[in-house]
Structure 1
């Protein structure tokens, strides 16, 4: 459920009206490793990369909320996540334990 919680959080911080991450749905037949912008470890099946750059294909979708910060607790379920691309989304920083974020990832963009 971690990806769906992340999607809901991202959607709650935008005024964009088109579908956001449309393949990310709660469905027993849906495998999250096949969802758009998600890469999983072939052996473990755990999420290792999320590329969420410009998820709404807009230049500045978060204009109404100039102090938008991503809550690091949303990333806790992803123990093997090493690459995270959140560029071009208007995120200003992190809420929570920044040390956890910076020590865990190979790349944060």
Structure 2
């Protein structure tokens, strides 16, 4: 999978981040997932346009299967948007630029 600027986190770290951030995006990925390798650079570019208003992290499902089960992740990539610690939106697949823009803008509207 292509290198990204997203920190890879585990379950305990995710819970701490949820408590520390108003808005958080978590993307569930796997090394063998072709759509994941397409999405991550696209997501990095979309987040750059957000000017740091949104923290984003990735979870490697093969390293944290319990976290994937907890959030019902069945397909990858799966993006989870949390607002004030609550799950506000879920998207599955290699979203295009417009879909990413809509998801990220929805975070600002909450």
- Structure having the larger proportion of residues in strand: 2
Please indicate the TM-score interval, normalised by the length of the shorter structure: under 0.3
Larger radius of gyration, structure 1 or 2? 1
TM-score of the pair, normalised by structure 2: 0.28
